[in-house]
Amino acid sequence: MKKNRLKKIVKNIFLNHGLSKSHAEISSNYIIQAELVGASSHGVSRLKMYCDRIKKRLINPKPKIKIKKISQSISHIDANNAIGFVAADIGIKKAIYNAKKTGIGLVGIKNSGHYGLSSFYAEQAVKKKLSVLCFTNAPPAIAPYGSKKKLFGTNPICFGTPTSSKIPFILDTSVSMINRGKIRVAAKQGNLIPENVALDKFGKPTRDAKKALEGVQLPIAGFRGSGLAWMVDILSGVFTGGNHAGRVKDPFDDFSGPQNVGHLFIVMKSNIFVGNNYNKRIKENIKKIKKLPKTQGTKEIFYPGENKYNKYKNNINKNISLTKNIMNDLKNLID
């Protein structure tokens, strides 16, 4: 389907579920962006979930979002259970504003929901020549190192910075071996998941996506990944007033209350320490790494974000293809 047509459909679905024009515009925009960077697990496939939660008022379609100024650099947002896209969009814009004024902007957000890809927010800061760190927690998926029980989310860590070329450096990675969305898609389509990414509920390695969802996902790099997941839970949840320690609700399966996801954004002027030398230094840094001798089969060393940018460029004028299941979801949501 053409991207503009799909965006209009998604926007209208949000409007029919009670979102304001601007909130429907923001949310539909992010959903289509996810499709364009090839992250379909965070695209239209999640629309039914968002709508189910709005119908049950677990996502508040008309939130009264409060922004508390703590200092010129620091703001705290209570998103009042807004859809995560809107809460995070307001949050990153505030962090950018604070950073432009003072050199650094710190924004904590509580009472939010699933906000899609962290890179969406990082890109906004980088476009303004700022550097950025984004954290969000997510529902239980990973067992803390040494435990049998899942508790941490796939808790992505995202860092973005301008490169002085048109492709920004955006490292945006889950701390699980693969992100949960990919396992959900595999479960829906009956596909196997890769080896060594999940255990079933008995603690046995599994490639069965459904069993993986019932069991635990494995963190990247053992106790190091578990530690990173924990760090993100503290920054996004403990710090902000959001849910933490396994209490972020699974948006697909747990309708017992709002998710109360927390997000933390730190935005900095890239040139605070080295002034105008920043551009020269980052260019030199990337050039040096790209020129390194390559392993067999590697044509080019990419920096994080290049692959997503290339996918986006490739997809921007193509139709977005949707599975039968998702087309059915769309039809049911329109009716």
Query: DSSP H helical segments within 17-82, as ranges?
Result: 21-36, 47-55
CB of 306 to ligand NAD, least distance (A): 7
Contacting residue, 30, 85, 115, 152, with ligand NAD by CB under 6 A: 115
Residues, the chain: 335
CA of residue 331 relative to chain centroid, distance: 26
Contacting residue, 75, 118, 161, 243, with ligand NAD by CB under 6 A: 118
> In terms of CB distance, is 75 or 174 closer to ligand NAD?
174
> In terms of CB distance, is 120 or 278 closer to ligand NAD?
120
CA of residue 8 relative to chain centroid, distance: 22
CA 94 vs CA 91, 100, 239: distances in Å: 5, 10, 18
> In terms of CB distance, is 28 or 33 closer to ligand NAD?
33
Contacting residue, 15, 49, 171, 234, with ligand NAD by CB under 6 A: 171
> In terms of CB distance, is 19 or 170 closer to ligand NAD?
170
Q: Looking at the DSSP assignment, which residues form a beta bridge with residue 159?
A: 133, 171
> In terms of CB distance, is 73 or 229 closer to ligand NAD?
229
> In terms of CB distance, is 73 or 169 closer to ligand NAD?
169
From residue 38 to residue 67, what is the string marking binding to ligand NAD with x (rule CB under 6 A)?
A: -x--x-------------------------
> In terms of CB distance, is 300 or 335 closer to ligand NAD?
300
* 117 near ligand NAD, judged by CB under 6 A: yes
Region 131-150 residues binding ligand NAD, contact defined as CB under 6 A: 136, 138
Show contacts of 249-258: CB within 8 Å, 24+ apart. Answer: 249/139, 250/139, 250/140, 251/46, 251/49, 251/50, 251/53, 251/113, 251/114, 251/139, 252/49, 252/184, 254/139, 255/52, 255/53, 255/56, 255/58, 257/58, 258/58, 258/59, 258/60, 258/81, 258/111, 258/113
CB of 284 to ligand NAD, least distance (A): 19
Distance CA 9, CA 206 (A): 38
Of the candidates 262, 330, 311, the residue with the CA atom closest to the CA atom of residue 44 = 330
130-136 and 261-269 as β-strands: parallel, antiparallel, unpaired?
Answer: antiparallel
Distance CA 320, CA 174 (A): 24
* 173 near ligand NAD, judged by CB under 6 A: yes
CB of 143 to ligand NAD, least distance (A): 16
Distance CA 35, CA 41 (A): 8
Contacting residue, 174, 217, 243, 259, with ligand NAD by CB under 6 A: 174
> In terms of CB distance, is 158 or 267 closer to ligand NAD?
158
Of the candidates 148, 151, 150, 105, the residue with the CA atom closest to the CA atom of residue 124 = 105
Region 293-332 residues binding ligand NAD, contact defined as CB under 6 A: 302, 304-305, 307-308
CB of 172 to ligand NAD, least distance (A): 4
Q: Quick one: 137 exposed, middle or buried, by C-beta within 10 A (0-12, 13-18, 19+)?
A: buried
* 123 near ligand NAD, judged by CB under 6 A: no
Region 197-216 residues binding ligand NAD, contact defined as CB under 6 A: none
CB of 114 to ligand NAD, least distance (A): 5
Binding site for ligand NAD (CB under 6 A): 39, 42, 114-119, 136, 138, 154, 156, 158, 170-174, 179, 302, 304-305, 307-308
